Amino acid sequence: MKPPTDEIREIVARALAEDLGSGDATSEAIVPEEAAARATIFQKQPGVLFGFEPAAEAFRQAAQPTAAGNPDPVLDPMVAEGQWRDAVPAAAARVAGSARALLAGERTALNLLGHLSGIATLTARFVEEIRGTGARLLDTRKTTPGLRALEKAAVAAGGGSNHRMGLYDAILIKENHAALAGGVGEAVRRAREARPDLPLEVECRDEAEVLEAIRAGAGRLLLDNMDLDGLRAAAAIRDDAGEGAPSLEASGGITLDNVAAVAAAGVDFISVGALTHSAPSLDVSLELKPAG
């Protein structure tokens, strides 16, 4: 789920405006406008890199205010995105162009690259924990405002799968919806009638709601904050339902320490909000030298 180029351009423009304001006062005072430079971006921690495109866009946009005839900076990746690397520190990309542009775009480029690589790396750690179980790892809507498309692309780069993008592309009936509708079954009926074109999932808190949702024809059940016994019981009910039974998604309180046990309980999907709201940035840095 890669965001379109114009969306990346807008995200980077907002980030650069926040950092540059009226201009890079330090570089404009010290670095000649005509100076060219080359730089190397280093990956300093084991993990998965993702975010070269927004990083490159940051350097390109930072070059726009200069008028000394230097070509736009070009970022040349030295490693494929989505691949785990243990041998660090190691070079990840080279950038060449206007020295002022490289200095002005450096922090925005590294912020985006480090943040997105951190998400891809944490995702890869979770995926490795459940490898071979048959369960798939999902992200959530617990994303940084304005960065959802990029963050979900980072999850995919780390080996995870994307859940719904927003409130518009799937029906997810949670306990508040069910309470307002008068119950899980009635909520499913209304949703099916109103939007038969959308996939439908319903949150279930206990075995009774699991049975009610299955009888109502829900395609997927969200088992939120259920303990392992509850997940196993839900899986048994699903298995007894036979052909056409819904898939099961576990969510809530899932960590690297317990995700394998959750997967082994018989669920099909595991959604983890921490992939996007709590992933630590991967440590990346930039070393710059004069061109020549």
Catalogue the active-site residues.
107, 142, 174, 203, 224
Distance CA 210, CA 246 (A): 10
Report how far residue 39's alpha carbon sits from residue 7's, in angstroms, rounded to the nearest whole number.
Answer: 26
Alpha-carbon gap, residue 117 to 52, rounded angstroms: 10
Q: Is 112 helix (H, G, I), strand (E, B) or coil?
A: helix
Give the CA count within 13 Å in the CB-facing half-sphere of 230: 18
Taking a C-beta distance cutoff of 8 angstroms, is the pair 157, 79 a contact?
A: no
Show the tokens assigned to 66: 């200069």
Distance between CA atoms of residues 188 and 199, nearest Å = 11
Angle at 86 between CA 81 and CA 92, to 5 degrees: 45
Q: Which residues pair with residue 107 across a beta bridge? A: none
Helical pair 5-20 and 52-62, crossing angle rounded to 10 deg: 50
